[in-house]
Structure 1
Amino acid sequence: MGSVALCLLLALGLGALAASREKCVLSGAWRNDLGSNMTISAMDATGGFSGLYLTAVSATNATILESSLKGFQHMGQAQPTFGFTVTWNFSDSTTVFVGQCFVLPGGEEVLKIMWLLRELVDSPSNDWKATRVGTNTFIRQRVGDSTRHDGAW
């Protein structure tokens, strides 16, 4: 009976270790806690990627348009760090995003991201109000999710 218990504990331990080493894949469709959507392409050999971002929120009255993103992922890690930039098509601002891709218990992939948005101001005296900072959590959108990017948002 002792060897059965030992085998069970060993199997549970190896299962937990395997789960903690699941690879988080950055490419694909993602949706954040505010309803913004992005699609990230496959990585190239250097970790470079591109994609599309459609924000659900904006401080401008302009019509929100899908914008391109470009970035890099740190290669060789199961839960990699990454960064990308979006120059918005509908405003005079740029946002840089940095984060990490995680695999949660149960296999769900999430992106934990911090961002800095810089908007155009008319003079250095208005620099104080030109930069915003925030955080978001993105969840992978699976095939069949009603929020998944299918090319037409």
Structure 2
Amino acid sequence: MVQATPFLLLLSLALVAPGLSARKCVLTGHWVNDLGSNMTIGAINGKGEFSGSYHTAVSSTPNKIQLSPLQGSQHRINQKSQPTFGFTVKWTFSDSITVFTGQCFVDEHGKEVLKTMWLLRSYVDNMKDDWKATRVGINVFTRLNLQME
């Protein structure tokens, strides 16, 4: 029976790992998060800026949920394969706005994942109610592969 030495284990990990990290995570496309919200990110320009749309699956407003625009930018230093990014969603159905920040990763199975944190700011009538106007949370997005029929 052959026993694996620590050196052989390290060597095998070094040979496998570059294949996973070499895959580039691309923000452009359709995404769905852990709550069922859908997001589309359009082409990223030469400055790293992008626009798109967001359709939330959750809301505390009694108004009808509608598609909302988003604007953002991706950090591009050295063309990193797993870039950081941020975007703002201006909700069309309420007096609130949400900012997201995160990083695009390629997981151990080769799937792209967006890990994000967000702040939602809702309108309040006076400064006394400021304490209840901001919410914070996290979302994980996975690529939504749309089938053309």
Q: Is TM (by shorter chain) over 0.5?
A: yes
Structure 2: tracts of 5 or more residues without a match? 1-6
* TM score, norm. by length of structure 2: 0.87
In the TM superposition, 1:1-153 aligns within 5 A as 13-75=14-76, 76-144=79-147
- Residue 18 of structure 1 deviates from its aligned partner by 2.4
Q: How many residues align?
A: 140
Query: Per-residue deviation at 1:20?
Result: 1.6
| CA shift for structure 1 position 142 | 1.4
In 2, Cα distance between equivalents of 1:130 and 1:13:
48
TM-score, normalising length: structure 1? 0.85
Please give the alpha-carbon distance, in whole angstroms, between the structure 2 residues aligned to 1:42 and 1:91: 27
SS of match in other structure, 1:19: helix
Could you list the per-position Cα deviations for residues 4-41 of structure 1 after superposition, in whole angstroms to 9, with x for gaps in the alignment?
Answer: xx9xx867633321212311000100000000000001
Q: Give the unaligned 5+ runs of structure 1.
A: 1-5, 145-149
Matches of 1:130 and 1:72 in 2, distance apart? 25
**1:147 corresponds to:** none
Q: State percent identity of aligned pairs.
A: 59
